[in-house]
């Protein structure tokens, strides 16, 4: 084992907590570089360095939970950078015979895989296994309710593109905060970058005060929506609830969601975000998703650019 903690933190991307302002901005700057190129696809290969380590790299997607955006945007990002992409399917893999995640990744490393992009329901397992890998970088694509760092980075990229800065902004994050790894990653990043977080939603879905960073506080939904620069709505993650709330669709939009009434409370310059997938007319009025105040599909587009920067960081380190 030769990795030091500092080299590990550069190679793997396990979470946002602990990343410095400089590290965050370095990724965002590079993500903006790729976003500019992606907007003009004819220019793409002119800008791709011939010596890019990504050109001969092998990237493996291992998703133990469902995904559309994260998995496919990593695949698009890797292919744009000239990488070879493997897609691991847990249900047809030897994990069905009892092989552990560590042994699976060790096997892929022995085959020459450079990066493992892992989504897993266990919020601790990536931290446990990552220090055991020197030749392969692990990227957290969402681990339980712990963190979703790559979603956070594309959110930050989108916010900075829209407002020109992040420091001093008020970001409302509304919904099922307790089960949201996106909320946690954004709380850590926005604390580091000097933005305020206004959490809101059903009381049973909020964090304990002891879990909040210094920049975060809990307010009513109306206060969050009316005072924020960014209104980020979250899906209620029924799949993570021990007891399911089948009554959610009835009245949730009016009580806790971004209804048309609440949309009218937003400041004129404020923008709507959502990590998606969203449930139209549950946490957000369906007509707002593609409206001119929504950045939701800009977030999706930035997902490719951000993940190109994240893959470069993983392979270069």
**Binding stretches for ligand CP (CB under 6 A):** 67-70, 142, 151, 275-277
Q: How far is the CB of 106 from ligand CP (least distance, A)?
A: 25
Of 68 and 220, CB closest to ligand CP: 68
Cβ proximity to ligand CP: between 185 and 200 the closer is 185
Q: Which is nearer to ligand CP, 8 or 76 (CB)?
A: 76
Give the residue with the Cβ less far from ligand CP, 251 or 277. Answer: 277
Placement of tokens 């950078």 in the chain: 81
Which phi-psi region, left, alpha or beta, contains residue 104 (left: φ > 0; alpha: ψ -120 to 50)?
alpha
- We find the least distance from the C-beta atom of residue 103 to ligand CP, in angstroms, to be 25
Least separation in angstroms between residue 117's CB and ligand CP is: 11
Q: Which of 137, 176, 178, 193 is nearest to 14 (CA)?
A: 137
C-beta closer to ligand CP: residue 155 or 312 = 155
Identity of the residue, 38 or 151, whose beta carbon is nearer to ligand CP in the bound complex: 151
| CA-wise closest residue to 76 among 305, 312, 275 | 305
Report which secondary-structure segment, H or E, holds 63: strand 58-63
**Cβ 47 to ligand CP, closest distance in Å?**
27
Instruction: Report how far residue 182's alpha carbon sits from residue 74's, in angstroms, rounded to the nearest whole number.
Output: 17
The helix or strand, by DSSP H or E, that contains position 117, with its residue range, turns out to be strand 115-120
The minimum distance between CB 250 and ligand CP, in angstroms, equals 25
Quote the least distance from Cβ 154 to ligand CP, whole Å.
Answer: 9
CB of residue 261 vs ligand CP: minimum separation in angstroms?
26
Give the DSSP H/E element, type plus range, for residue 35: helix 21-38
Q: Cα(169)–Cα(173) distance, rounded to whole angstroms?
A: 13
142 or 257: CB nearest ligand CP: 142
Burial 161-177 (b: 16+ CB within 10 A, else e): ebbeebeebbbbbbbbb
Whole-number Å distance between alpha carbons of 308 and 305: 5
Residue 268: CB minimum distance to ligand CP, A = 27
Instruction: Tell me whether residue 218 or residue 309 sits nearer to ligand CP (CB atom).
Output: 309
Residue 238: both structure tokens together: 């029924």
DSSP string, 206-264: SPPGGG--TTEEE--HHHHHHH-SEEEE----GGG-SS--TTTTTTHHHHHSB-HHHHT
């Amino acid at each position: 084992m030769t990795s030091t903690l500092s080299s590990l933190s550069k190679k793997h991307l396990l979470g946002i907590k602990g990343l410095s302002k400089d590290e965050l901005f370095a990724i965002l700057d590079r993500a903006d570089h790729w976003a500019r190129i992606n907007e003009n696809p004819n220019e793409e290969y002119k800008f791709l360095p011939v010596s890019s380590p990504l050109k001969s790299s092998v990237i493996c997607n291992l998703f133990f939970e469902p995904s559309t955006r994260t998995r496919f945007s990593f695949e698009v990002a890797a292919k744009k950078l000239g990488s070879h992409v493997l897609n691991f399917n847990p249900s047809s893999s030897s994990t069905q015979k009892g092989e552990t995640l560590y042994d699976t990744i060790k096997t892929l490393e022995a085959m020459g895989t450079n990066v493992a992009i892992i989504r897993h329901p266990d919020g601790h397992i990536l931290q446990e296994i990552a220090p055991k890998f020197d030749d392969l970088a692990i990227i957290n694509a969402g681990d339980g309710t712990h963190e979703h760092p790559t979603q956070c980075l594309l959110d930050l990229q989108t916010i900075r593109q829209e407002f020109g800065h992040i420091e001093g902004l008020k970001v409302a994050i509304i919904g099922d905060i307790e089960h949201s790894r996106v909320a946690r990653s954004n709380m850590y990043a926005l604390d580091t970058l000097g933005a305020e977080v206004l959490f809101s939603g059903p009381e049973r879905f909020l964090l304990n005060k002891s879990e909040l960073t210094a920049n975060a506080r809990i307010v009513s939904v109306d206060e969050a929506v009316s005072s924020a620069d960014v209104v980020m709505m979250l899906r209620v993650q029924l799949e993570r609830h021990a007891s399911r709330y089948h009554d959610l669709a009835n009245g949730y939009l009016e009580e806790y969601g971004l209804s048309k009434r609440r949309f009218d409370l937003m400041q004129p310059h404020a923008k709507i975000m959502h990590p998606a997938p969203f449930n139209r007319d549950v946490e957000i009025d369906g007509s707002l998703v593609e409206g001119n105040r929504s950045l939701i599909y800009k977030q999706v587009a930035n997902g490719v650019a951000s993940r190109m920067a994240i893959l470069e960081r993983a392979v270069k380190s």
